[in-house]
Structure 1
Amino acid sequence: MWLAGWLSESEKQPQGDVKINIIRPATEVHIKKYSPQSCILVHETPDIYRRVVEPYISAFPPERVKWVTEILEGRKEQSKILFSSPEFIMLPDLKWDLHTLSSLYLVVIVRDSTIRSLRDLRGSHIPLLKTIRREASAVAQSRWGIQQGGLRMFIHYQPSYYHFHVHIVNSNYEAGMGMNVGQAHLLDDVISLLELDPGIMDRRTLTYGLGEQHGLYQALQAAQE
């Protein structure tokens, strides 16, 4: 959850002077994720994915995505949902303060749990991805008046959790590390690549930065040699 905070009594802003994010319980994984760390660029070939990354994803503890399941099954965050369909839901990301339009940040969570990451996307998922793009634009326009071209939609790789989701932000918003080249893949580009080659995500080499606190760091560093 998050809280708004005010640094003084005078000229209070409705969104607060600061935004405080709270993670509870904060696991060792959370602490590592938000700790300062150096990064290396890795080249994840299809072979490295099958030997190193895919087993890591398959061994990912189900408890790490329990919060996703609870939202999808209607047990939590239901009042925040902006759009819901049999394929996905859309709601504000915790990074957004719900007030500042220039930093608008939404997330789409797909219901199909077999899609864990970018690597699992195939040509058969193109209709799903196009529907996400269309509905995100419709919600942004109807609720906040954001016109065509006013949104940046992207997919993280590596993602912070292995249940497929799409990030949607104001096109003017700069969100730091999460939008770095390599980690953030534009939804439009992913759709275009799948239209050219339905199996490209399984066969391409992905190059991205990986922090030294990531669970894959040592294994992927060794695999580069």
Structure 2
Amino acid sequence: MASVEKASDEATYVNPKKFKSSNEEPKESKKYSVHESLKDLSKFQLKRVLNNNAQKKLLCVEGTFADHDGAAIVLLEKKAFVEEKLDEHLFNESSKLSKEFENDVYGNYNCFPSIEHNSIKTTIIHPAMEKHIAKFENQPIHIVEETPKLYEEITLPHLKKEQFSLQWVYNILEHKAEKERIVFEDPDPKTGFVLIPDLKWDGSLETLYLLAIPMLKGIKSIRDLDQSHLPLLKNIRDAGTKAISKKYSGLPASQLRIYFHYQPSFYHLHIHFTYLKYDAPGIFTEKAHLLSTVINNIELMGEYYSKATLSFVVKESETLFSKYQAHGVLSSQSVEKK
């Protein structure tokens, strides 16, 4: 459990990640949410596979839990190896081998480590809304070249109506949830932020993944950033890298990838900190914007992000795709559907 490091003695705030649509709030009932009593997956009833990514060793399925209302998403992901503990976890008598074949100097085996060193990172979303299902479902994707005009006419009205609830973010910022997971926090209302492990992180240094969440509300994405936010961005860069180096084996800033997503998965500004060698989700050019580049662009032109054309990826199953399609910007014709 991460210890909390404070930048000052002032009061602090912070909160967790439970996706809920602002228009689809579930009723308050312990029977409605499965998380209060879940101990195993025996009550999960599989409906369909949303995504099976062999490269990332990731499986995402949709289903339901017996005796609980609402759909559920279960995300299963193989963990990375921890180099510092290979002897303890793998190279011992508890790791059993089953030979597939041998040929000359080559042997092919299946290895079965002990159960305590063979866990699968599991994320469960319940009750899951249609927006969650669309988010994780494997679908044809398209790139949108979003001009400021398209942002104002299509994207902004859409996100105001369809975005997930930000209550989980405010819970973190107000210390109502995940307080024990906070790695670092600066409570300043204008330049402060909370540094907290991303839900996708399995805890190993090789897959380090943290989120910096500003205390300041009302900044939806990089589209809203201007020169007035430079002190906030620079503080997140400097204090965030210092806190990570202090807590995680002296990891230097030069081995961190620090970036925004556009479009983000939720519309309270946040910055991703990942280990540079880790191929984290969403690090590609059509999604990620390095913090250093964002700072530089704003220093060159204060209103850069309100005037720039920004690219982003959208799935055909998403409502935003339908809206861009209705405006004649996108077509659903796809090689994957032929």
Cα shift at 1:131: 0.6
Structure 2 CA distance, aligned partners of 1:3 and 1:54? 33
Change (3 A) 1:132 1:12: farther
Alignment pair present for 1:107 and 2:211: yes
Alignment of 1:134-213 (within 5 A): 134-144=238-248, 145-176=250-281, 178-213=282-317
Q: Distance in 2 between matches of 1:45 and 1:71?
A: 33
Distance in 2, matches of 1:42 and 1:3, equals 30
CA contact (8 A) 1:156 1:183 kept: yes
Equivalent positions of 1:28-177 (< 5 A) are 28-60=130-162, 64-85=165-186, 86=188, 87-98=192-203, 100-144=204-248, 145-176=250-281
Q: Which runs of 5+ in 1 are unaligned?
A: none
Q: Structure 1 residues 13, 133: CA separation in 2 closer, same or farther (over 3 Å shift)?
A: farther
Name the structure, 1 or 2, with higher relative contact order (CA <8 Å, separation 6+). Answer: 1
Does the aligned pair in 2 maintain the 1:15–1:97 contact within 8 Å?
A: no
Q: Structure 1 CA distance, aligned partners of 2:177 and 2:307?
A: 37
Whichever structure has more helix as a proportion of its residues is 1
Give the superposed CA RMSD. 2.4
Alpha-carbon spacing, 1:13–1:125, altered in 2? closer, same or farther (3 Å): farther
Higher strand share: 2
Local SS of the residue matching 1:56? helix
Distance, in Å, in 2 between the alignment partners of 1:5 and 1:39 is 25
**Cα distance change on mapping 1:14 and 1:154 into 2, 3 Å:** farther
TM-superposed CA distance for 1:170, in Å, is: 0.2
Which SS does the other structure have where 1:136 is aligned?
helix
**TM-score normalised by length of structure 1:** 0.90
In the other structure, the counterpart of 2:129 is: 27
TM-fit CA distance, 1:93 = 0.4
Letter in 1 for 2:255: G
Unpaired stretches in structure 2, ≥5 consecutive residues? 1-16, 18-74, 80-93, 96-112, 331-338
Is the contact between residue 181 and residue 208 of structure 1 (CA under 8 Å) also seen in structure 2?
Answer: no
Q: SS where residue 149 of structure 1 aligns? A: helix
Deviation, 1:208, is 2.0
The structure with the largest alpha-carbon Rg is 2
Asked if the contact 1:4–1:16 (Cα under 8 Å) also holds between the matched residues in 2, the reply is no
Q: Structure 1: which 4+ aligned runs deviate by more than 6 Å? A: 1-6
Q: Measure the CA separation in 1 of the matches of 2:210 and 2:278.
A: 12
Identical positions, percent: 36
Query: TM-score, normalised on structure 2?
Result: 0.61
> How many angstroms apart in 1 are the aligned matches of 2:117 and 2:239?
27
